[in-house]
Amino acid sequence: MRRDVFQAIADPTRRAILSLLAVQTLTMTSIADHFKVTRPAISKHVKILEECGLVSITQQGRERYCEASMNKLDEVSDWVERYRKMWDERLDRLEEYLNELQSKT
């Protein structure tokens, strides 16, 4: 199943993992050390992040290193920006309307 970025960031644990990886590359064990869940649970979260293109994993010997690929978050930023513009316009119109009402009284 192909997942999207929105699905990945919907989970607070995955957002926390991304925050950790935004600062530095970590092994799976290092990531798991930051959470009170099992390493297999962390592996599942990281796999979802990888499937969405938010994390890349490289194998070095026995260790798997995870690195954030934050450019995929541009999708989210673009989506939010469209709605921000829409709400700005609506709120501006509401403000104009309220000012008109106030000036009539």
Give the CATH number, domain containing residue 62. 1.10.10.10
Predicted TM-score (pTM) of the model is: 0.76
Which token pair is 11? 């989970």
Whole-number CA gyration radius for the chain = 21
Total of domains in the chain: 1
Report d(CA 56, CA 50) in Å as an integer. 6
| Confidence at residue 41, expressed as pLDDT on a 0 to 100 scale | 96
- Which range of residues forms the domain containing residue 74? 5-104
Report d(CA 32, CA 39) in Å as an integer. 5
Per-residue model confidence as pLDDT tens for the chain (105 residues) = 567 899 899 999 999 999 999 999 999 999 999 999 999 999 999 999 999 999 999 999 999 999 999 888 888 888 899 899 899 999 999 999 999 988 887
| Confidence at residue 79, expressed as pLDDT on a 0 to 100 scale | 87
| Confidence at residue 7, expressed as pLDDT on a 0 to 100 scale | 87
